[in-house]
Structure 1
Amino acid sequence: MPLVHASLGERELAAVAEVFASGWPAGQGPRGKALEEELTRMYGVGDAVAVSNCGAALHLALLALGVQAGDEVIVADYTFPAPAQAVRYVGATPVFADVRADTGTVDVGAVADLITSRTVGVIAVDTVGLPADYEPLQQLADRHGLFVVEDAACAVGATYRGRMAGALAQVGCLSFHGRKGATSGEGGALLAADVKIAADARLRSSFGIGSIFEMGKVVGLPVPEFTEIGYNFKLSDIAAAILRVQLGRVGELLARRSAVAARYGELLAGEELLSLPVVPEDRTHAWQSYMVTLDARVDRAQVAAALRGQGIGCGHGTWASHLQPVFAPARACPVSADLFRRNLALPMHAELTADQVERVALALRGALREAVSPRALGGAA
């Protein structure tokens, strides 16, 4: 029973076959353009740029926003370290902000305490699929003249106060990695309220010269000029074709994930050795991951070994970025560090059956009892 599993089938295969027959499998072709138009409509943004992955989208966003050496960008700490790495790509300094203990999303108060004269913006993260507190965060950013970028890598299908995750800031970055709510194996997108930001990102994503496919349709022999340093961040038309099918299935796949999460909640309710995920009433979760927080008395590694020994996939959750050696030395984020030590990710994907979910819950309850000493439990066996 794997931790993750991509929901790909015959419709996606048929879409790929059409690309093969078209003769244009590379990036920025007709499927990529259609995908961008669909994302723009779906999210109600100014424009969307399909790219190779969410890390590329974050990098392009910071370039388009003019971040440079000497600047500081505040980043949510409890996440895959891609946001902080993107800040480093442009020569700026990532400043890690601690997170809320209940949701794992960035603490707006912690962000406020970190703002200096060198701060130019904030990257918030929709932690494993749960949107951050964007309204107070945006109000704070507006008071200080800062940009906000939404890392919505895990949050395709989630909402905050009725708005879609990915469109909650001036720039949003999506991931279509294999474990996400919509996937092409790898892939990403940049969503921008301002079409100028999207245009900058689109140009830089293709070595700074734009779409070769579009140029090929021009009568004559246009010779592009390289006016900007660009990157090869294009999304192939093969991946774009898959994603167009997947976007049409987002509601269906999210409903299945939500049902799995609800069942976990029922089966694990009242378990004193763990805490369940918290979802505030003003938002919905995309359930990229289902993470429980283990009691401090529990040996997480022992629990994981017991589950994996029964063929049940599990993981540590995500990272306290400030603890990673590549960013040392970094200021402490104690809440993030605590979640990093105690969170455990359980199998979560749209293909899980009710029987499998029950098997996971039963195995987890048993493993918890074995992974804590009788003395810690007050003498209980």
Structure 2
Amino acid sequence: MNATDAIPLVHASLGERELAAVAEVFASGWPAGQGPKGKALEAQLAERYGVGDAVAVSNCGAALHLALMALGVKAGDEVIVADYTFPAPAHAVRYLDAVPVFADVRPDTGTVDPQAVADLVGPRTVGVIAVDTVGLPADYAQLQAIADRHGLFLVEDAACAVGATYQGREAGALAEVACLSFHGRKGATSGEGGALLAADPAIGADARLRSSFGIGSIFDQSQVVGLPIPEFTEVGYNFKLSDIAAAILQVQIGRIGELLARRNTIAGQYGQLLADESLLTVPHVPEDRTHAWQSYVVTLDASVDRAAVAADLRAQGIGCGHGTWATHVQPVFASEHKCPVSADLFQRNLAIPMHAELSENQVERVVDALRASLRAHSASTLIPGGVA
């Protein structure tokens, strides 16, 4: 098989416009963080999402960390987090010596179950982090009602959901604070990067200051006549996003509609081709929301040997992955509290290629290979009376 025949799981849609934007930064002489391009990106994000402030940072994990600090989370506090996700929310909670409490998810969407959240609220609970699972927004109307009833904050981890919507509102603007990712597999990317979006400008100001060692923008200070010498009054972090990445993202944010339209087409093709496949279930999107399709994740029948299917696909040059994680079973977060739905999805989900560069023929090839492998590695096809 030639390398050109491979179908990668993910592929970033970066081209000449992004290269031109980077060239502008090189010519400007300021490639570092919190410079002109960073400010322009933050203004672009604040306008797009209709928020009080937007802070560009190095990644979504940094945004989550900054959000919890700005919201006043302290050691010993409990924060309810969606269990079925990349474990960044739980990491952010633990950074502050607080306690992540894992909430199970809906079996049809993989998003956090509001009833599970409600059942976990206790005397030490201070907030909730919901996750837009692999690009699908959670149930924010119910989650916000729970948060309001108990006086909790609600943070939206919209890492995977740039371009998605919930009840007509854009993912990233569904809670008082939201965190975005611009990692290489996202709908808008600079390779790495993230942003914190806050309804309250004070939250944004706190995050921006902490993201630059607690002393603010060196670029701004360099524009002042004289010699301003900032003072370090508290411990901060180096979570700045470079102006190189910010320039790329300005282009990418403008392309969200174009790239999402292509992902939607691919998802529709997968859904149509796999609709009658008895050995898997295609993603479910409730009528009140839309999917960003960061990933296309199918749920395999319990009779299927997922590892064997993955090995088959990869041997044919077709990228695939396990979907995402059941956080509560990871060794670093091992918890006696069980999330059975999340644990089940963790065992049975399979991510297949999804990116804006996929061709119709490639999608058909993925589906053909997947169907053949399902039958080769399903116990139900190997016994009398099994699926034909």
1:150 and 1:133 map into 2 onto residues whose CA distance is: 11
TM-score (norm 1): 0.99
Task: Look up the match of 2:144.
Answer: 138
Compared with structure 1, are the counterparts of its residues 14 and 216 closer, same or farther at alpha carbon in structure 2 (3 Å cutoff)? Answer: same
Match of 2:280 among 271, 274, 280: 274
Q: CA deviation at 1:380?
A: 5.0
Aligned positions, number: 381
Gaps of at least 5 residues in structure 2 are: 1-6
Compared with structure 1, are the counterparts of its residues 379 and 41 closer, same or farther at alpha carbon in structure 2 (3 Å cutoff)? Answer: closer
1:333 and 1:264 map into 2 onto residues whose CA distance is: 29
Task: Look up the match of 2:230.
Answer: 224
Matches within 5 A, 1:259-298: 259-298=265-304
What SS does the corresponding residue of 1:148 show, helix, strand or coil?
Answer: strand
Task: Look up the match of 2:219.
Answer: 213
Match of 2:264 among 245, 254, 258: 258
**Structure 1 residue 55 and structure 2 residue 61: aligned?**
yes
Task: Look up the match of 1:367.
Answer: 373
2:387 and 2:343 map into 1 onto residues whose CA distance is: 29
Task: Look up the match of 2:385.
Answer: 378
Match of 2:127 among 110, 113, 121: 121
Compared with structure 1, are the counterparts of its residues 376 and 215 closer, same or farther at alpha carbon in structure 2 (3 Å cutoff)? Answer: farther
Letter in 1 for 2:87: P
Task: Look up the match of 2:97.
Answer: 91
Q: CA deviation at 1:29?
A: 0.2
Letter in 2 for 1:244: Q
1:88 and 1:378 map into 2 onto residues whose CA distance is: 50
Compared with structure 1, are the counterparts of its residues 159 and 380 closer, same or farther at alpha carbon in structure 2 (3 Å cutoff)? Answer: closer
Q: CA deviation at 1:328?
A: 1.7
Q: CA deviation at 1:376?
A: 5.1
RMSD: 0.8
Compared with structure 1, are the counterparts of its residues 71 and 269 closer, same or farther at alpha carbon in structure 2 (3 Å cutoff)? Answer: same
Match of 1:172 among 178, 200, 215: 178
Matches within 5 A, 1:1-381: 1-373=7-379, 374-375=381-382, 378-379=385-386
What SS does the corresponding residue of 1:123 show, helix, strand or coil?
Answer: strand
What SS does the corresponding residue of 2:56 show, helix, strand or coil?
Answer: strand
Letter in 2 for 1:215: Q
Gaps of at least 5 residues in structure 1 are: none
Q: CA deviation at 1:227?
A: 1.5
1:288-328, Cα deviation, whole Å (9 max, x unpaired):
00000000000001111111111100000000000100012
Compared with structure 1, are the counterparts of its residues 206 and 332 closer, same or farther at alpha carbon in structure 2 (3 Å cutoff)? Answer: same
1:14-48, Cα deviation, whole Å (9 max, x unpaired):
10011001000000000000000000000000000
